[in-house]
Amino acid sequence: MMVSAPARYLVFFQYFGTKYSGVMETSNDQSVVGVQNYLEKAAQNLKPVVPIKFHISSRTDTGVHALCNSAHFDIHRAPGKPAFNEKQLLHCLNYHLKPEPIRVLNAYRVTSSFHARFSALSRTYIYRLLMGCSHYSEIPVFERDLCWAPVGRSLNVPAMQDAAQFLLGTHDFSTFRSLNSETPFQSPVRTILQVDIQPSSGFLSQHYEHRELEFWELKFRSRSFLYRQVRRMVGALVAVGQGKLTPHHIKELLELKDSRAFPSNAMAPPSGLFLKSVEY
């Protein structure tokens, strides 16, 4: 059978990550599967001649959310059938994703040389912190799984901002990565283009002002990040904010270049982490 040249598309999509094993596909017989499994299942409704494979730009872990992730894929249609337009694609995918907290935001036709992962110029993550809870039961129900509430009344934010300066620029981030199967093949050197720590607002928080809850957002931008690097950086900065580490300890941790040197139990949980954007 003749197959006409495939059409390549770039899609931007978001998801509430709590119920997934991360964004990457898993075998379908697991009780919890990846966001990619649902995207590819929805895409088969486009009736392609060849099964559609999503190439995800940014891998996110179990429990991590995306305000905007991206992926590319090719659609092979039967000979004589025109390529889908972007609107058709968007409506079809979202229709079949309806029961899931996954939404395709935009679709663009791209050239066959475009690659969602390798063509990306940078990625931006934000991490949401909630201060003022002495116990996890005090987290507003609307914020559950969407922030981290480290125990304690407040954080020393100026100390955290001082510490964050040590993370900026190009470094060997070995101490700030968790080990996985890719570690031996990956350079630990990364360039952090931006670290910001800003006050933020909670969902509906104007309705419970009396509770003295404070939201903070940590923002990180780099061309790419190592496995769990953002969660380790956040955890270390929070430890500085709590007075468990000094800002200078961050510099020392970087210089040790050893993932085992990272303080135990200091990694931030996945719930507060959001992939905010992928820039091309």
**C-alpha span between 41 and 34 (Å, rounded):** 11
Q: Which residues contact 121 (CB under 8 A, 6 or more apart)?
A: 223, 279, 280
Instruction: Write out the two tokens for 7.
Output: 């059409």
Q: Sign of torsion, CA 60 65 68 73?
A: positive
For residue 125, say whether it is annotated as part of any ligand binding site: yes
Instruction: Write out the two tokens for 227.
Output: 């496995």
**C-alpha span between 4 and 20 (Å, rounded):** 35
Element (H, E) at 277: strand 273-279
Q: What are the C-alpha distances in Å from 188 to residues 57, 206, 260? A: 19, 42, 14
Q: Which of 29, 61, 162, 196 is catalytic?
A: 61
Q: Pick from 130, 138, 194, 112: which is nearest to 161 by CA?
A: 194
| Paired strand residues for 56 | 71
Q: Pick from 17, 11, 270, 6: which is nearest to 148 by CA?
A: 270
- The reply to whether 258 belongs to the active site is no
CB atoms within 10 A of CB 184: 7
Q: What are the C-alpha distances in Å from 123 to residues 14, 116, 265? A: 14, 12, 26
**C-alpha span between 115 and 57 (Å, rounded):** 8
List, by residue number, the catalytic residues: 61
Residues annotated within the binding site for substrate are 125
Residues annotated within the binding site are 125
